[in-house]
Amino acid sequence: MDRSIFSAFISVLLGVSTAGTLGFALPPTGGPEPSGRPEGIWHILEPVTYENISIFPVASSASYDTSYFLTLDEGLSSGEVLIREQGADGMARSREGAPRIIPEYHPEYRPEYRTGPAVNQLVLVNRSKRPLLLLAGELVSGGKQDRIIGKDRIVPVGAPPLPLDVFCVEHGRWSNGANFVASKTIVHPSVREKAAVDQEQTKVWSAVRSGTTSTANIGVSGEMSEALPAPRAQLNTEVLSRSIATSAPTESYDKVYNAKSTGVSIDDFVEQVARRFASQTSHLKGERIVGVIVAYGGEVAWSDIFASADLFDHYWSKLLRSYVVEALARPTFREVASREDASTFLRRLNGRETQETDPNVYTWREVTEGRLTQIELDTLDPKQFTLHRLLLRRT
């Protein structure tokens, strides 16, 4: 082959290879992110540390437009979203656990109707002109019991009444209450894990009652240690039992973990971390915070990352409170997790994967690798990208 032709051919190949490599790291340009893998557009900052918690901000120069999504707090506050017990107000239901099915497109489907309330299922109607985003662990107060959302999902505009899988977090009440309202609360990670991953009511309630399902003895390296006794957590079973007896006879999550009822300074803890976090992230140039990675003592345990800084900002205050409740309920080790350990929470897991899809609306994806579980929610309309990514270390 002529040497000049051969050189040109090699140059073209190198150009294609380089373009492919750069394409993974470049920010979104309006199209779907390559193969749903956003890791190349994130990096973590130095941690914000207070007491036994370290929060690593996740920064990105890339962002998707998420302004057309409605959040649960917004929808319930405005009245655009209605949540009712099953059987209330003649609201229609469909088969338990089934994806959204539109009768005109699936004439063979015949829904099964329920006539009365059920602990683990409510009915939701999205009356807004925006798709509704739901996150596992978001709490709604009212009805016969307070409940939490069981799984990340999107409810499209114009959807029929949706059978919504939920978990009870108010164990001692089953009586008519006010309409469901936004509590502006998301349960702390130990409870959220049991809802999002285990999907078992008994495990959800056990995590509420005990404060945490975390391992009691964790060494400096984050590994199990039989020799090291666990320092006492501030929100332990004894404190929670006393709080339930005096201030939360219905064992309501909202009341159990109220700072005044427990006698623990949750609000002061939140304020200290929030102030440090704001200071740490206030001087970014060309980037914004889209998520966080959270460590307790020396163990990196949790992460929430969103498609945009605006979406993160909306959830940040209630996420922070949930992380603080978890910190108070865990042994008070003062070790600080390394930035290197935290960065492993940005990688994509390689393990058993399950998916659920509502055509043209969303895809929910779970990957498990050892003690790690990754859950991603992709929106499919008007284009595909990951709205929310959760990665957690199983307790």
Q: Which of 87-96, 106-115, 245-254, 331-340 has the lowest mean pLDDT?
A: 106-115
Burial class, 334, CB count within 10 angstroms (exposed 0-12 / middle 13-18 / buried 19+) = exposed
Mean pLDDT of 123-149: 95
Whole-prediction pTM: 0.82
CB 154, CB 377: distance < 8 Å = yes
CB 152, CB 375: distance < 8 Å = yes
**pLDDT computed for residue 90 by the predictor:** 44
CB 254, CB 184: distance < 8 Å = no
User: Measured between alpha carbons, how far is 172 from 252 in angstroms, rounded to an integer?
Assistant: 8
User: Measured between alpha carbons, how far is 11 from 5 in angstroms, rounded to an integer?
Assistant: 10
What confidence tens digit (pLDDT) does each residue in 216-245 have?
A: 444 333 344 445 567 889 998 889 888 988
Taking the alpha carbons of 303, 309, 314, 317 in that order, is the dihedral positive or negative? positive
Mean pLDDT of 255-270: 90
Burial class, 130, CB count within 10 angstroms (exposed 0-12 / middle 13-18 / buried 19+) = middle
Instruction: Please state, for a pLDDT cut of 90, what percent of the chain lies above it.
Output: 61
> Tokens standing for 165?
């899988």
User: Measured between alpha carbons, how far is 172 from 234 in angstroms, rounded to an integer?
Assistant: 24
Average pLDDT of the chain, as a whole number: 82
User: Measured between alpha carbons, how far is 116 from 114 in angstroms, rounded to an integer?
Assistant: 6
User: Measured between alpha carbons, how far is 318 from 152 in angstroms, rounded to an integer?
Assistant: 16
**pLDDT computed for residue 219 by the predictor:** 37
Residue 103: pLDDT band with limits 50, 70, 90: very low
Q: What are the distances in angstroms from CA 50 to CA 56, 116, 264, 275, 339?
A: 12, 47, 16, 11, 16
> Who wins on pLDDT, 371 or 92?
371
**pLDDT computed for residue 20 by the predictor:** 31
Number of neighbouring beta carbons within 10 Å of residue 64: 22
CA neighbours within 13 Å on the CB side: how many for 355?
Answer: 6
Q: In the 3-class helix/strand/coil scheme, how is 115-181 assigned residue by residue? A: CCCECCEEEEEECCCCCEEECCCEEEECCCCCEEECCCEEECCCCCCEEEEEEECECCCCCCCCCCE
The 10 Å CB-count burial string (b at 16+, else e) for 237-274 is: eebbeebbeeebebbbbbbbbbbebbebebeebbebbb
> Tokens standing for 151?
């799984």
